[in-house]
Amino acid sequence: MDLHAPLGQGRKDKSRGKARLRVSTVSSAFAVLALFGLSAWTALSPVALRNEPPIGLTPTPPQASEIAESETDRNPKDGPAGIATSGPNDGAVIRRTTTADGNVVTTFSPNARKGPVVIGSSPTQDPRLAGQPNEELIEMTDAGGLPTVSASGLRPVDFYARPWSGARGTRIAIVIGGIGLSQTGSQKAIRDLPEDITLAFAATGNSLQRWMQEARRKGHEIVLQVPMEPFDYPAMDPGRGTLLAEKAATSNLANLHQAMAQITNYTGIMNYMGARFLADDKAMDPVMRDIGERGLMFLDDGSTARSLSGDFAKAIGIPHAYADVMIDAQVDRRAILAKLDELERIARRNGQAVGVGAAFDETISAVSEWRDEAVARGIEFVGVSALANENRP
């Protein structure tokens, strides 16, 4: 230490060192902040730095700066101004717009439903015209008017289906057959059964056109019962025009078409008897193909475990339903009510069930009473087409 140096000279300036330290610390802090800011700007920047376009999940009106999607880029099914829906019962409106910087913005908003939901998205028949056929769904042939798929792809199974809520609660379809075989039985069934009970018309019955119009105007969905060969045929004869396992395909198709032409406005074909025919693959193949090509469903009454109808429906790709319970194998009120309770247990276990019966007085009375009680327990009754499995490939 130099004792002769002037006061303050020759010493290290500690204050300058501290100042330099503070400058260094502040610079580092600014660098960190700048790096953080760059990262945030990169993540939030509207410039398309990522491959996935932003999707708005809430309805957002397009800004004035947004440019509507061009007609060449839109899907042909899209509506005007980029609104894409496939039917009046769709659950959402999808709007796609292109912003000035090139991003495609997709927004989803609820679509107001214009009526009850039905299986599929095709339009259903106006109830005021329920007794009249849709001419687009009829093919004129030598046998008469047969059901067909329209030029736009509309199927009878969709158009003539009874609307339902669309809820996924417990659902039951009850099908009462033999309409047309007895005038008093047909009249009682149409008059007394609730409109959500499906009616099956016997192709061999009488005054079918009249009964069809009355049933449809009341709101019933209907199917057509076609006679098919049982194992003990001809001792047990389903009636004229029965489809036979040993007959040629041309003969069976001719009888099928003769039956189909009896009425219109039905959603599908149901077997009347037919344990032997349903178990014969060669006989079933052309018949099931024709039913599918005409846009119909097939309802199996469940009377034989050997039926191949479900296998063919899956292979060909047509709607198919299978009855879980025959409710009036015993034509006794108490026995029928017991079977209906069994049907409800199946429906609560599986979510849905199909019961079939005939237009006996006892059946009509029991079903009418039990149905009202079941509705009070939370069961929804639907047309049978609502429970058909869609086996489209």
- pLDDT interval class at 390 (50, 70, 90): confident
Residue numbers of the domain that contains 64:
55-110
Is residue 358 within 8 A of residue 368, CB to CB? The reply is no
Q: Between residues 294 and 124, which one has the greater pLDDT?
A: 294
**pLDDT value at position 231?**
96
DSSP 8-state assignment for residue 296:
-
Answer whether the bond into residue 147 is a cis peptide, omega within 30°: no
Both 192 and 273 in one domain: the answer is: yes
Return the higher-pLDDT residue of 340 and 66: 340
For residue 392, pLDDT over 80 is answered with no
| pLDDT tens per residue, range 256-271 | 999 999 999 999 999 9
Do both 83 and 192 map to the same domain? no
Inter-CA distances, 126 with 116, 258, 263, Å: 12, 27, 18
Are 313 and 340 contained in the same domain?
yes
Q: 139 and 82 in one domain?
A: no
Domain boundary among 77, 110, 143: 110
Residue 66 domain-assigned (yes or no): yes
Domain presence at residue 47: no
Q: Is residue 332 part of a domain?
A: yes
Has residue 126 got a pLDDT over 70?
yes
pLDDT at 239: 96
- Are 81 and 218 part of one and the same domain? no
- CATH at 271: 3.20.20.370
- Return the H-helix or E-strand segment holding 16: helix 14-44
Tell me which of 110, 137, 154 is where a domain ends: 110
Decide: 195 and 220 in contact? Cβ < 8 Å: yes
Q: Does residue 233 sit in the same domain as residue 343?
A: yes
* Backbone dihedral region for residue 335 (phi beyond 0: left; psi -120 to 50: alpha; all else: beta): alpha
Q: Which helix (H) or strand (E) holds 250?
A: helix 249-260
Decide: 268 and 213 in contact? Cβ < 8 Å.
Answer: no
Q: Is the dihedral of CA 377, 381, 386, 388 positive or negative?
A: positive
Same domain, 215 and 85: no
Higher-pLDDT residue of 249 and 65 is 249
Work out the percent of the chain whose per-residue pLDDT is above 70: 68
Q: Is residue 201 part of a domain?
A: yes
Write out pLDDT tens, residues 143-192: 999 999 999 999 999 999 999 999 989 999 999 999 999 999 999 999 99
The pLDDT of residue 168:
84
Task: Match 């007085």 to its residue by tokens.
Answer: 361
Residue 37 domain-assigned?
no
Residues 136, 233: one domain?
yes
What is the number of structural domains in the chain? Answer: 2
CA distances from 192 to 137, 333, 364 (A): 30, 16, 7
CA separation for the pair 120, 109 (Å, rounded): 21
Closest CA to 242 of 227, 253, 230: 227
In this prediction, residues 363-379 reach a mean pLDDT of 98
3-state secondary structure of 146: strand
Q: Among residues 110, 142, 173, which one ends one of the domains? A: 110
In a domain, 12, yes or no: no
In this prediction the pTM is 0.70
One domain, residues 296 and 168: yes
Question: Higher pLDDT residue, 317 or 96?
Answer: 317
Sort strands 144-147 and 171-179 into parallel, antiparallel or unpaired. unpaired
> Over the chain, what is the mean pLDDT?
80
Establish if 291 belongs to a structural domain.
yes
User: Do residues 173 and 273 share a domain?
Assistant: yes
Is residue 102 domain-shared with residue 236, that is, in the same domain? Answer: no
* 228 and 323 belong to one structural domain: yes
Length of the chain equals 393
